[in-house]
Chain A
């Protein structure tokens, strides 16, 4: 496992995900990806689901990836990496590895659409079969690549292009699917949540290093604030992510062996959810008097979930 030292040290890691990609200014995807791929010195084979990251990083004849990389479709990043990992196993057993002196690790990236929704089956299957890989969900809570439709990661009240706010609608009606816990319930040896950014960079890098060095399927759900669809200024990405953590809308925790939960960060003063919602255009309508109850509902859900995490951590089960 690579030791994650100072930020200065970490920032000097040779890039395996190069700049010059076409992600939006202020997109959190590239921050998360760079932190993950730089969190190990091992060689990487990466699969990526169709989505923002894929269409912006490998446009023939260019690529941002300085590692072996494959994209097949929207729903099969996990199945593709499972195949590659199986081949590695087969060739290792037959003494036919291409570079005997190197350790090869397998990582898959998918957005929330390719992970929570259409890719969920292949992810669940690959994890259940115990392939040795890390799956990172770049959760920007909507189908940003296709114009901002809702996904099952979209939180209640959010305006999206398929759950628009309108005269008689307040936007998304469902609460967000708790994929992190679902992955933990698969019995993954390591599952964690993370955010990109300055304050918590080490949390993500350490989690990635830990996940990559763990044998078996591991999962990191990384909140990826989306300047385009969440409607905030590109320079505010990190601040929005921090607010998600400070309000406990997206708490940082990890679960080992499917049950042992550790909260990685406790806000000194838990901020009210308005601070997080108010910073994003997709929630602006919630501040109208008739929608106030949704903010109250949000706060209630956040409080309950935060309590639940703390109780689980305390119980040590």
Chain B
């Protein structure tokens, strides 16, 4: 058994270290990974924990991200707890296997440290890679700071491994802005964390050779549709389990998580919707705007897949104007988050003025002032009842303002 790791009540960890400690405390059996910036320190730290005897497992340092996820699938099907981490191009290389992991209903946990996709090559943070796995059948949790990266990774094991779910889970954190930013984190002690995560009981493990199983059979048209429909249902049915796990986690940690997080939204006329570390910047912008008399609030889906469209529509009900801020380049359409919000509102017959802004690509700084400007613009549109072209433009972009009007 692994050695106990002495933790203080408050540790100073960056997002990568926080995720690594969560993997250690969950006593993951196999980690298969290939290094890529900015997620590299997660598996480096895990390797060090192994070397120091603080975790007992196998670290498979493979030759590519494709093999990392393939080995994770093989290991998870074999019948133990499995985790990995990646970013950007590495995530892109894994995409094929992401579908196979979820299709086989294997609860692998992966921390995605979000980063831009080439070309041009860029190692900094945006959400382009987050959306690569959007339809791959994984649960996606969004962490905005190291504390959340730690908490949600522990929750990810509980959610994915729940017998009612049995699906792979990603926890997302912004590259560098979270992964390399040291903050005070309040960890659980090892035994409390492990007690929360619980022991893993695999369903149909390959290593139970007395009961041989077949994984990854071929289905063709006679069965494929039924398999995919069931998988889709499993993902949709995970909502109550996620909420349950969040509630359980609140009991042990005192920290509360929701399917949809909001800030000062209750009485708001206008709302911003965004995910990731910019949410905290936006909080400051909201406070400033409120000082100026603008009734603005924030919304963030904590869970991006399955998308909590009922909750999003419910929370945004009656808001006059909504600006959805996407940290990815939509290339030829509006941003993915915008589209989700628009769909959720349309389905509920909500008629808010809806606009889309693109920000922070490749790690571009987004300040309180930038967001304040968006709030003001959105507020003006709301007051005037002015409907504009959905894609409003790019925040903090060098050169003449790009306009799609």
Contacts and interface: CB of A to CB of B under 8 A. Distances in A.
Interface of A: 43-45, 47, 54-55, 58-61, 63, 65-73, 75-76, 78-84, 86-91, 93-94, 96-99, 102, 104, 121-122, 124-126, 128-129
Nearest to B71: A83
B220 A59 contact: yes
B207 A129 contact: no
Interface string B44-78: 00000000000011101111101110111111111
A67 B97 contact: no
A102 B213 CA distance: 16
A104 B209 contact: yes
A45 B78 contact: yes
Interface in B299-347: none
B129 interface: no
Given A69-B212, A72-B100, A58 B29 contact: no
Contacts of B207: 45, 68, 84, 87-88, 91, 97-99, 104
Contacts of B29: 87, 90-91, 94
Contacts of A79: 62, 66-68, 70-71, 74
B30 A83 contact: yes
Given A71-B215, A83-B78, A129-B62, 4 more contacts: A68-B212, A70-B73, A70-B214, A71-B218
B219 interface: yes
Given A73-B97, A98-B205, A122 B67 contact: yes
Contacts of A72: 70, 73-74, 97, 100, 216
B66 A125 contact: no
A165 to B, nearest CB: 33
Contact of B63 (A59, A65, A124): A124
Contacts of A71: 215-218
Contact of A90 (B58, B62, B206, B227): B58
B244 interface: no
Contacts of B205: 98
Interface of B: 1, 29-30, 32, 56-58, 60-64, 66-68, 70-80, 82, 96-97, 100, 205-210, 212-220, 223, 227
Please provide the 4 A-B residue pairs with the shortest distance between their CB atoms, ordered closest to farther: A83-B74, A125-B63, A83-B71, A76-B70
A73 B70 CA distance: 9
How would you classify the secondary structure of chain A's contact residues: helix, strand, loop or mixed?
mixed
A86 B60 contact: yes
Given A76-B67, A86-B75, A93 B56 contact: yes
B64 A122 contact: yes
Contacts of A47: 74
B56 A87 contact: no
Contacts of A124: 63
Contacts of B64: 121-122, 125
Given A87-B80, A94-B29, A80 B74 contact: yes
A76 B71 CA distance: 8
A80 B62 CA distance: 11
Given A73-B97, A80-B74, A98-B79, A43 B218 contact: no
B97 A76 contact: yes
A102 B207 CA distance: 10
Nearest to A42: B209
Contact of B66 (A45, A75, A93, A96): A75
A51 to B, nearest CB: 11
A4 to B, nearest CB: 22
A65 B212 contact: yes
Nearest to B56: A94
A84 B206 contact: yes
Contacts of A89: 58
A67 B205 CA distance: 12
B77 A84 contact: yes
25 contacts: A54-B218, A55-B218, A58-B214, A61-B223, A65-B212, A65-B214, A70-B216, A73-B97, A80-B73, A83-B71, A83-B72, A83-B76, A83-B77, A84-B78, A86-B58, A86-B75, A87-B75, A87-B78, A87-B79, A90-B57, A91-B29, A97-B207, A104-B207, A122-B64, A122-B66
A90 B30 contact: yes
Contacts of A43: 209
Contacts of B219: 59-60
Contacts of A67: 209, 212
A129 B218 contact: no
A314 to B, nearest CB: 36
Given A68-B209, A69-B212, A83 B73 contact: yes
A190 B15 CA distance: 44
Interface centre among A55, A65, A72 (most CB of B within 10 A): A72
A90 B80 contact: yes
Nearest to A86: B58
Contact of B212 (A66, A78, A81, A129): A66
Contacts of B32: 82-83, 86
Contact of B209 (A83, A90, A99, A121): A99
A68 B63 CA distance: 25
Contact of A58 (B62, B218, B223): B218
B217 A60 contact: yes
Contacts of A104: 207, 209
A54 B214 CA distance: 11
A82 B62 contact: yes
Nearest to B220: A59
B208 A99 contact: yes
Contacts of A75: 66
